[in-house]
A and B are shown apart, each in its own frame.
Chain A
């Protein structure tokens, strides 16, 4: 089973709200990723967690705060977002987070910031 689940599927929030996106995988993978995808563009990497430690932060603004409570879960906390942050947020996981491990993606959370 190569399933990554994400909740919620859709999220609408105001610029002063605080919300969280959740991602879960039960494949025993030790690396998890957050991507942002704008319409008609490929996904852009935001964060990588490897063995529950943040290994890559692609200079993402601090209004996005990732958290990896355990090896199966990945959260993305959102605060004081801007309308231009509206996008599809994708979670992915892979075996180790190194080498050329295949990344498996979730269905995404479609975020709208008003």
Chain B
């Protein structure tokens, strides 16, 4: 079945470091791909999305490119801030009659000042 695999956390970085959180997926068709972020004590916020191969989603300095050949959607940021500390979920959504998101397990990111 369809699935999403994320790199295990926690990930701890120093401020201004480069961030990569790996995400790969398995899907029988052509899904839309998402990154959601969850700050401590809050709900999920949509960070970025991509709906077809080679699309690049970007927001708040974060980027991810939909790579069909490697079935990946890795999240990157050039210079992280303490305020980026949160849990990041990669997710996919297949075109179907029901919008059932498939989430990865989440990656906890901690940024040291």
Contact = CB atoms under 8 A, between A and B. Distances in A.
A99 to B, nearest CB: 5
Given A42-B104, A42-B105, A105-B36, A94 B99 contact: yes
Interface string A84-102: 0000101010101111111
Interface string B41-61: 011111001010000000000
B4 to A, nearest CB: 9
A49 B34 CA distance: 22
B95 A45 contact: no
Contacts of B43: 6, 88, 90, 105-108
A10 to B, nearest CB: 10
A108 B38 CA distance: 11
Interface residues of B, number: 26
The prevalent SS among residues of A at the interface is loop
B17 to A, nearest CB: 24
Contacts of A6: 43
Interface string B95-113: 1111111011110100000
B94 A100 contact: yes
Contacts of A11: none
A107 B49 contact: no
B7 to A, nearest CB: 14
Contacts of B98: 48, 55-56, 97-98
27 contacts: A6-B43, A31-B99, A33-B99, A40-B108, A41-B105, A42-B103, A42-B105, A45-B100, A45-B101, A56-B98, A90-B44, A97-B98, A97-B99, A99-B96, A99-B99, A100-B32, A100-B99, A102-B46, A103-B99, A103-B101, A104-B46, A105-B44, A105-B46, A106-B43, A107-B42, A107-B43, A108-B43
